[in-house]
Homo-oligomer: A and B are copies of this chain.
Amino acid sequence: MVQFQDVTKGYPNGVLALRRVSLRVDPGEFVFVVGPTGTGKSTLLKLLYRDESPTEGRVFVAGRDVSALPHRAIPELRRGLGVVFQDFKLLPSRTVFENIAFALRVIGAPPQEIRSRVIRALDLVGLAHRPDAMPGHLSGGEQQRISIARAIVNDPPLLLADEPTGNLDPNSSWEIMQVLSRINLRGTTVIMTTHNKMIVDILRRRVVQLAAGRVVRDQSRGLYAVDA
């Protein structure tokens, strides 16, 4: 499903965010990406949805070389993904409903289906009662759940979630993890970065640990940290 071949990513300011990362994720897997702040977790995801291009090496998504994708093929790539952004990236001048419906419209979903699918996604993240709120009028955790709803509404084959529980209390976090697990069981590949030790340690999924841009551990059924 996803493959990194010897990928190095340097930003224009000289920061080396990823160094010679090689990694393979099979369809249907659930992978936690962990590591201290600033070690390149978000960068790893950005390479997958082609927000950044690798400096060296190649990145494959569903067999396609994403790093060599022409510009006009990028929308097509992104429509096959669901992404929960670390900073939410909600359209500030659209309502909650419109923000999520937008993701469906982009993939060309039939209009008569949009309403019911949006409501179902909002229901999954526990926010079906506030479809008409503006994102700026929501609490941090509520905004995060909108972002999650948008990522899952179009049943993507691959879900990338960047710190999706950072603004959520433990109970809400568990509810979200149940949603993600259910989606994973239905066949969606999930790659999720997180700092939440408790979640990683209890769920016991595959863990990829980064440190200073390198993969230092890749363990199935792993814990948040080896020495913890």
Binds B, one of A54-62, A71-79, A137-145: A137-145
Q: Is A167 an interface residue (CB 8 A)?
A: yes
Q: Which residues of B contact A170 (CB under 8 A)?
A: 195, 197, 224-225, 228
B195 contacts A35, C-beta separation under 8 Å: no
B137 contacts A169, C-beta separation under 8 Å: no
Q: Of the candidates B37, B167, B168, B171, which one forms a contact with A172 in the assembled complex, judged by CB atoms under 8 Å apart?
A: B37
Closest to A142 in B: B38
Closest to A144 in B: B37
- Contact size range, A: 35 or more
Asked, given contacts A13-B137, A42-B140, whether A171 binds B36 with beta carbons under 8 Å apart, the answer is yes
B140 contacts A37, C-beta separation under 8 Å: yes
Q: Is A166 an interface residue (CB 8 A)?
A: yes
User: Within the oligomer, what is the number of copies of this chain?
Assistant: 2
Q: Is the interface of A mostly helix, strand, loop or mixed?
A: loop
Q: Of the candidates B13, B142, B167, B171, which one forms a contact with A163 in the assembled complex, judged by CB atoms under 8 Å apart?
A: B167
Question: Besides A36-B172, A170-B195, 14 other CB < 8 A contacts?
Answer: A13-B133, A34-B169, A36-B169, A37-B141, A42-B140, A86-B140, A86-B167, A140-B166, A166-B167, A167-B195, A168-B195, A170-B224, A170-B228, A197-B198
B198 contacts A37, C-beta separation under 8 Å: no
Distance between A13 CB and nearest chain B CB, rounded to angstroms: 6
